[in-house]
Amino acid sequence: MTNAYKIAILEGDAIGPEIMAQAVRIFSALSTRSDTEFELTYAPFGAAAYFEHGKAFPDETKTVCDSADAILKGPVGLSYEESKKIPVEEQPERGAILPLRARYNTFANFRPIFLSENMAHFSPLKPEVIQGGIDILLIRELVGGLYFGSKERGVNEAGLRYVHETLEYDENQIRQVLEVAFDQARLRKKRLHNIHKSNVLMSSVFWNEVLDEVHQQYQDVEVIHLLVDAAATALCLNPGQFDVMVMENMFGDILSDQGGGILGSLGLMPSACIGPEKAYYEPSHGSAPDIAGKNIANPYSMIGSVAMMLEMSFSMKKEADAVWSAMRSVFESGYSTADLSTADDSIKIVSTVEFGDLVIKELDGMLA
């Protein structure tokens, strides 16, 4: 019996179409060697969508996403100067990404921070700090907090301009992401770092109260509480202490980027945004307009997002593992791209397309 999946493809901006072109090759490679078919439908999204359709998240794209089994999204956004050409409310982050998350309630953001021992040279950290590699799963709450709270700008009675933004959570929003984090911790090392700022923020006090309640269902999981500023330091000094980390929206946004930093690049970090009925998958990095069109952007995080989709949305773990192995084999064979590495005796620089070619060649060999 043939399995068929519908996937919405949102290429995004700048390097988005370049790295997406390599990622979708995975679907073709798998289709030729299995009884699974993938129906890909492309739809505009981001700054390019605004300039063509007047909306960063057009209605036609919403229709495509609504009917899809999963969504694969490329990076969006422009340079600071180019972004000024778009109204604030339609700039890709506000006009496309946040509405996408809200539409499908993708409350749990999985961001794996992973470097194998043989890829440790990418990291700026000292070898003795990395030791056997890095393997952290950061889980970020994605549809609450400051990003989705009420917002107001104005002029007060004293004639001073002001801004007012609200950090909002209800207990169900917190509980649902904590349950996901505890489930993942139980599957891994049964250790969960809870990242908060309860010494200052009442929202963190409330978060921790809900966590204590949820923890009663997961007594086999050890919980380690850590203030967010201390966590930022610890990620640099001793990343090996972490396994699963969970935190609210803005903390997760910041610390996951720091996670990319200890890997050596956000280009090495894919992500999954999971909701109760639908998920979308995307690289953790931005659209890198400064290198767009140069065929030098590494597609690892875009292809890795496909691997996460295969496992998490389609239960194709064997195929997902093969994709991960293929990419890591390419890196471990000494190949890289100019955005990640400088050529030397041990590193051979290839283009975006050539990196994709090498991954497909490795994958074909594994699936044969």
- Which listed residue (69, 135, 257, 357) is catalytic? 257
CB-based contact 107:139 (threshold 8 Å): no
CB-based contact 104:40 (threshold 8 Å): no
- How distant is the alpha carbon of residue 101 from its chain centre? 13
- Which listed residue (55, 73, 197, 278) is catalytic? 197
- Which listed residue (66, 170, 229, 290) is catalytic? 229
> Annotated catalytic, 66?
no
Decide the pairing of beta strands 244-247 and 191-196: parallel
- Which listed residue (13, 243, 253, 339) is catalytic? 253
Three-state secondary structure string covering the chain: CCEEEEEEEECCCCCHHHHHHHHCHHHHHHHHCCCEEEEEEECCCCHHHHHHHCCCCCHHHHHHHHHCCEEEECCCCCCHHHHCCCCHHHCHHHHHHHHHHHHHCCCEEEEEEEECHHHHHHCCCCHHHHCCCEEEEEEEECCCECCCCCEEEEECCCCCEEEEECCECCHHHHHHHHHHHHHHHHHCCCEEEEEECCCCCHHHHHHHHHHHHHHCCCCCCEEEEEEHHHHHHHHHHCHHHCCEEEECHHHHHHHHHHHHHHHCCHHHCEEEEECCCCEEEEECCCCCHHHCCCCCCCCHHHHHHHHHHHHHCCCCHHHHHHHHHHHHHHHHCCEECCCCCCCECCEEECCHHHHHHHHHHHHHHHHC
> Annotated catalytic, 229?
yes
> Annotated catalytic, 126?
no
- Which listed residue (5, 147, 169, 335) is catalytic? 147
Catalytic residues: 147, 197, 229, 253, 257
